[in-house]
Structure 1
Amino acid sequence: MISGAERGKGGDALAKHLLKPENDEVHVLVPRGLGSRDLIGQVRELVALSLGGRTDRPVYHVHADPDPAIVDNDAARARFWALFEAEFNLASQPYCGAVHVKHGRRHEHRVYSLVRPSGAVVDVAWDFLRRERCARVVEFEHGMPSPTPSKHSRAIVSALRQAGRDDVAAWMEASGTTEAPRPVARLSPQERLIETRTGVPLDDLRAAALAAWTASSDGEGFLSALRARGLDLRQGRSGPVVVDRTGTAHLATRLIGAAARRQDGTRIPAAAVKERLAGLTLADHGETNGQDRRAHDRGQVAQAARGGPRDGAGARGNPGGADVAGGAPGAHADGGRPDRSGVEHALSRVVARPAAARLRGRLRLMSPGRNAALADAIEGVRSRRWTWVPGQVDIWGLPITGDRPRLG
């Protein structure tokens, strides 16, 4: 049984992903704790209900895909979700989701809110290992001959014994999964997304970077070998990065190390890569890179990032090097704003505004017309009936449990 999870901000893109038409069938689940009628509205409501939590990633997207060897797919999914909610203490949290059928296989997606009514945030630390433990129990109980290989097998066996599931632990040990070499995925989830977005196969990029590495003996030679293969080397936030043809950066130490490991099983240490590249003076990634690089090649970048002309040309293609049209001296290429209008001064400018202007801005932000998701969530709440016990309120001070008055 395979499961996956991603924590994020939510949004319409997530709901549309769950409704994507490339599946043979899509069955929207009956939500829990939500009043919206469609999946997009339900995800918006989840986000709105989570606004009081101290997190910028209040939404937890989880999917469960039972192995084809399991005959009763529905029962396996139900058992997994029961174990999963007990493991993460999510049994009372709102969720929505959908069941997908693709190529005859059925799997389920759920989107949970991680913010409790009190404002506390659900702890999902070590979630991969914890979800794997739930999956192994489901596989054992549904008669799979052996567990799905996992690099956490030994840790899972230890946790199962602590939880009193010696039967599942013994089944895993008998299968040899705790002694087998740890499986290594070809791509991490993030690398898979980058490969899909850029269209550049990561295996090809790794091979080209390794070929440049073996064809050189110093940093300058490595840089020349990369450029001969259509790549470049820049300075990133965490060290030198290899830049592909789309302008996407890949950490050099990781790229070369992974390429060597896949070729002969021996990884080139990061220290060795850093030592060879230590003497190079590299431009920062982002300077004349990606979109800017292509525009520069066409001769359409007329002004440098700090307001000066680039390649002898003035702003907006003015050969005389004049300032931005309509801008004051010292204006940037971002529309003529002076230096003091940088992002770092935004808060101080807001605070310095007159009180009446700040009030008008606050009212505009709070207007339901400005926040459709919040308006939909409020309408969904008003359409339900809540219970109430005096003295018990949620994070907004609203009663949450007793008599059944109707809100709105």
Structure 2
Amino acid sequence: MILVGNQRGGARDLARHLMKQENERVEVHELRGFVAGDLDGAFQESYAISRGTRCKQFLFSLSLNPPKGADVSNDQFIRAIDLAEGKLDLNGQPRAIVFHEKRGDDGEVRRHAHVVWSRINVEEMKAVALPHSKRKMQDVSRELYLEHGWKMPKGLAVSGASDPRNFTLAEWQQAKRTGQDPRAIKTRFQDAWAISDNKASFQQALQERGFWLCRGDKRGYVALDVHGEVHNIAKRVGIKTKEVKARLGDKDALPSVAETKIEIARTMHPKMQEFRQSLKDQSQKEEEQARQKQSTLQVKQKAQREAFKKAVQLRGQAEERERQNRFRGGLLGLWDKIRGAHKRTVEQNAKEVEVSQRRDNQERSQLSAQHLSQRKKLVKEHVEQREENKAQSRSLSEDAKVFKNMEIGATKDLDAEKEAFKERRRSSLRPRRRSRSRDGPKIER
């Protein structure tokens, strides 16, 4: 069931649209929470209440369109509306439900529904916020398709971006970190089943979601994920085995688990090589970036040291001029020496020089410590990145080894299956020996 909704105003226009007689039949099924007894009056009532707020789009209108050929009862429509209401947090808000029956171009009469809620919360006198309403309605629509077993439109199914054959290195690493959520696995199987109608389309839909369809040894129809784990189709989709058999046909036409594991391993070998090359290119790029950062930092720090050295020199010269200006010349200077003022000035200047030198040394030490900290941080980032790349390289090597072992083990299993089959065939063709009596041949007299 496709759900399309939007916020809007225009109460009178909406009421006229919903009551148009171009439909074969129009039925106002429910008016809940309104004083008025007709659609136009109910929407005008919502408009009057909205005047007490600043909300202009005081209504939320939703259309519910079942798939072609589906026979949907009133109760099923109401359940769908209740689901949407809960998702939108419009529980208890005044609403109107209208059913339409309309003849299509093919001459078939189709039934659909409209529901309109008032967004204004009367107790708080503000509009109910409806964030992400489109995504929420898609979720409800998906749930209804799965619940009723209708064939789901491809645009509504969850994206099939789980195919490991299409992963980038970053996506592969993320998939390994996050693991596999059982609920997400079940959803991918249900989506693949909902958008397919035969074995070929189901097989394609599964592969787009990272699974390979095959013949199980004991479970009938199964699928393998990229790690070789076996998933029962009926259990994952949530249907009976006979329904799976009816759609997929003879399971003997499917490859065995061992054959599928070999296919997965041989498919993923080049992907692992691609990942390793991607990691190598990434590491080289990061090494070059690290060298550039180091070179840039060296130039920057050298300029800062030169600027500091020049600033200290200029400041020292200015301070020295200030100290020298304290000495008076001529008779006044002689008088300062006689009365001891000159000596006190010399001592004051000496103390200030000592303080200035300590200050300069302290600032120089702070700058050196700052530069050292920056270099250490840069080196640390480089080392951490290098170690992370090494860990990723080891992980990719382990993954490649897993796929190699998967192929070797599956090949052995397949060879054993073939040998067992040959032995059964030889046994069936071998002539049976005639049994002899222990008492020897009978001689008739």
Q: Which has the larger radius of gyration?
A: 2
TM-score under structure 2 length normalisation: 0.36
Comparing both structures, which one devotes a greater share of its residues to helix?
2
TM-score by length of 1: 0.39
